[in-house]
Homo-oligomer: A and B are copies of this chain.
């Protein structure tokens, strides 16, 4: 059990990568892709959001190409999806809860990194949302489907809430770690409650 906060954060981050990777791998299995397609969708779902953020802020090579643990976590998720997809699909609720945790961590970390690279609040908030949701968008595009995050549910909205917490804390000069924890918890809570209650983001009037 890690006690040092950096180690704890890395462990949480790797869990987020793994769970996002599962969402890619299991979708690939459902769409009858081969083993390579399963691994690619796991990598894309787990890492594309952070890769897009890093390309946009000029942090190249992206973080996930610097530290093999991120690639290995995503590839492990792909293998798990390939061999254990019936079991994973049956685990609906725990996977959703872990996914919500990953969403919170990625949104907060993405926004924080953008601020650290000198971006102003509006683009930093967008990059936080991109970090959290970009992998899911890429995952769905690779199977030629309209990304789920653009169509339904409170998912990106929850990520946006977390980035607003980070930006408010930054503007008020509050210490970053507790602010990040509060932001990630806000994302997590909004996401989980919205799934349990069946909330959706609104559609255009008359659409």
Contact = CB atoms under 8 A, between A and B. Distances in A.
Interface in A56-114: 56-58, 60-62, 65-66, 68, 71-72, 81-83, 85-86
Contact of A56 (B61, B86, B207): B61
What is the total number of copies of this protein in its complex? 3
A62 B127 CA distance: 12
B150 A37 contact: yes
A24 B65 CA distance: 29
A183 to B, nearest CB: 18
Is the contact region of chain A dominated by helix, strand, or loop, or is it mixed?
helix
A202 B144 contact: no
B122 A71 contact: yes
Contacts of A149: 36-37
Contacts of A174: none
Contacts of A72: 122
A122 to B, nearest CB: 5
B147 A142 contact: yes
Contacts of A146: 31, 33, 142-144
A51 B56 contact: yes
A150 B34 contact: yes
A19 interface: no
A204 interface: yes
A155 B146 CA distance: 25
Contact of A82 (B68, B144, B204): B204
A32 B207 contact: yes
A82 B203 CA distance: 8
Closest 8 CB pairs of A and B: A37-B150, A58-B60, A34-B201, A65-B123, A36-B156, A29-B204, A82-B204, A33-B150
